[in-house]
Amino acid sequence: MSDATASAASGAAGSSAGPVGFVGLGSMGSAMAGRLLEQGYEVVVWNRSPDAVADLVSRGAVEAATVGEALAVGTVFSMLSNESVVFDLFDDETLASAPDGALHVNMATVGAAAATRLRERHAAAGVAYVAAPVLGRPPAAGSGALTVLAAGDPADVERARPVLEALGRRVWPIGDDPSQANVVKIGVNYLIIHALQALAESITLLEARDVDTGMFVELLGDSLFPGVVYSGYGGAIARGSYTPAGFTTELGFKDLMLALDAARASGVSFPSESALRGVFEKALDDGQAELDWASIAEVTRRRARPVA
């Protein structure tokens, strides 16, 4: 452990709020780590790119030189972009360096099979492992309004609960198997994907009849479909506005494939699989990878109005 990291751990020894490590400072991870700082935690942070680290250090965080240093404080949370990055950063060598009783709470969306392999890898190194993917965007993370899905050994979930409650408006205990939390998150994202496609088709139909689609989205939110999915994404689709991306099409396609992989592994078949996969693949082919995933609606729009 570096002198700075050791100082953070020592300085928080008498505090009920910390220290904790945090690995992965993208838009979500930065918002989460910032929230923990606001809640009085000593936060030891690591990220591959330095800009996000510098911002959090200016707000009171301590920089770790390696993932192992972040894990050395005893409890580390991570919010990484995909499962391959989780495996790369929390490799056997890093986990073997963890102190006795260490806990890793993985908040990324990973596949069910990956969650099982991660649990086994951590167990072999004597590191406790909890899966805690979340529902919500960076503003919700920054204000402590996420919905947290937590699964793992109940004692380990309870150890993580104070931090999870600082990040979320509600912590849902999903089960003893970490993969169960990831399957629930995958199921939620698969439902959002269906909502995006349904909105695209309804809005395209109404556009063809010269109906005010902004009014249509407002009507949805005021009647049968209140909430951020139909109002937020519906508004973006009606306006054709997909930047800045809250969640990219590329990441949406990743989550679609996680859902399809989980279905196959569970012996489940989805009638809508071919259509949804085709829409995403066409959107990616058309250069929409970095646009918000609501932009898949443009595939439906273009197909409805073929060029002569």
Q: Provide the residue count of the chain.
A: 308
Contact 193, 256 (CB under 8 A): yes
Asked if the bond preceding 139 is cis, omega within 30° of 0, the reply is no
The question of whether 185 is a catalytic residue gets the answer yes
H or E, element range at 168: strand 168-175
Q: 119, 121, 159, 185: which one is catalytic? A: 185
DSSP-based three-state secondary structure for 135:
strand
Contact 5, 64 (CB under 8 A): yes
Residue whose pair of structure tokens reads 């439902």 in the numeric block: 191
The residues near 62 (Cβ < 8 Å, ≥ 6 apart) are: 4, 5, 7, 8, 42, 43, 44, 45
Residue 299 sits at the vertex; the CA angle it makes with 295 and 305, to the nearest 5 degrees, is: 125
Point out the residues that are catalytic: 185
